[in-house]
Amino acid sequence: MLEHREGLAKFCAPLYDTITSRNEVFYNPLMRLNRDLSVLHASALAPGRTILDGMAGTGIRSLRYMLESGHEVHANDLNPQATALIEHNMHLNDVTMRVTQADFNVLEGKYDIVEVDPFGSPVRYLNPALRLLKKEGLLFVTATDTAALCGASYAACRRKYGARPLRVSFCHEVGLRILVGYLVQQAAAWGYGLTPLLSYVKDHYMRVQARVLRGKKRADASIDQIGILNYCPRCSERLCTATPRYECACGTSFEHAYPLWCGSLHEGNTIDAMLKEVPCSHIDAPGETEAFLRMLREESHAPFFWDSHDLCARIGVQVLPLAYILEQLTAAGFEATRTHFSPMGFRTDAHLPDLVRVLAS
């Protein structure tokens, strides 16, 4: 057991050569950015909020919520070794918070923020999480089963999310939109509307931080943004529509991924509020975190991103510098931005015929 520091928190945690569900107490140092963004989001809220960290592990996220955002925190874990370690780490920081050892599914109460950060898929925890939210709350969800969501494990995606994935160059965005779409559908069943405020893919995980508001009209409005990806394997055209299309303009049959979220993955006001918190925060790498947030803020809302190398190969031109592609598209009147999904990727509201006209001329 080693002592670590992250943000304002000091804590004891085991270090493992391999992170698996069989580790005695779950702790992953690679999730620091995930925790940084959670704390910044919570810090940007009005004081006096209540937060449930349902699978707290070592308690590092719970401690950081309390120490850096000042909100009331309930740390829970089913594992008795984890709750004992949380108690130890709580005293190490000279703070007091509620600590319980219970199955997440049987917890009671109402919270402003419910944190769902399991090992693997969050699917089995979403209904209890929605039950534990106040009428106007925030749901923070992490998924590490990216093989299923990105189409490498097709059957697993069908089984867990009731969705058809697609293994394409932009499969991580497809996977993230399947995850958001699933969250929206689960919330709608409770009569809640769900809006993603911050959604991203990083390293081995996907993350969604969403606003959940009670109301059937809100639920219907969220459901209206669920759709289908129509993808042409020949020319790489991609369209997000409410109903399937079957043939591309090039004459090739479309492949499909569904159901998935076709709306915006981020809300600008939320990211702006988080950026304001960075200078006065205690995160360990403020420059890295700010740069990541700014990239998310500046991303176009148009689904789906293009891989510049793949696009150039398909339209028959030599590989063009990404900066040149963005410059040409912007000059032609289109929205064009980099994307956090890939260093070679870009987003644009231009469709394939527009891209061919602008870049192949």
Gap between the Cα atoms of 78 and 169, Å rounded: 38
The CATH number for 183's domain is 3.40.50.150
The CATH number for 319's domain is 3.30.56.70
**What are the two backbone dihedrals, phi and then psi, of residue 113, each rounded to the nearest 5 degrees?**
-130, 130
Question: Is the pLDDT assigned to residue 20 strictly greater than 80?
Answer: no
Residue 256 within a domain: no
Mean pLDDT of the chain: 96
Tokens of 39: 């704390």
Residue 237 within a domain: no
Residue 66 within a domain: yes
Q: What value does the mean pLDDT take over residues 251-263?
A: 98
184 shares a domain with 218: yes
**Threshold 0.75, pTM exceeds:** yes
Give 72-104 pLDDT, tens digit per residue: 999 999 999 999 999 999 999 999 999 999 999
Instruction: Grade residue 22 by pLDDT with cuts at 50, 70 and 90.
Output: low
265 shares a domain with 201: yes
193 shares a domain with 61: yes
Q: Please report which residue ranges of 93-169 form alpha helices under DSSP H.
A: 126-132, 146-149, 154-161
Q: How many domains does the chain have?
A: 2
Q: What value does the mean pLDDT take over residues 221-246?
A: 97
Beta carbons of 294 and 278 less than 8 angstroms apart: no
342 shares a domain with 289: no
Q: What value does the mean pLDDT take over residues 330-338?
A: 97
Q: Give the N- to C-terminal CA distance of the chain in Å, as an integer.
A: 62
Question: Is the pLDDT assigned to residue 27 strictly greater than 90?
Answer: no
Q: What value does the mean pLDDT take over residues 235-240?
A: 94
198 shares a domain with 312: no
Q: Which residues contact 248 (CB under 8 A, 6 or more apart)?
A: 230, 232, 234, 235, 237, 254
Q: Which domain range does residue 331 map to? A: 306-359
Instruction: Grade residue 148 by pLDDT with cuts at 50, 70 and 90.
Output: very high
324 shares a domain with 217: no
**What are the two backbone dihedrals, phi and then psi, of residue 207, each rounded to the nearest 5 degrees?**
-135, 135
Instruction: Grade residue 14 by pLDDT with cuts at 50, 70 and 90.
Output: confident
Give 295-313 pLDDT, tens digit per residue: 999 999 999 999 999 999 9
**Pairwise pLDDT comparison (111 vs 15), residue with the higher score:** 111
Question: Is the pLDDT assigned to residue 25 strictly greater than 90?
Answer: no
Residue with tokens 């699917």: 123
Q: Which residues contact 300 (CB under 8 A, 6 or more apart)?
A: 335, 336, 337, 347, 348, 349
Out of 252, 274, 298, a domain closes at: 298
Strand bridging mode 9-13 / 2-6:
antiparallel
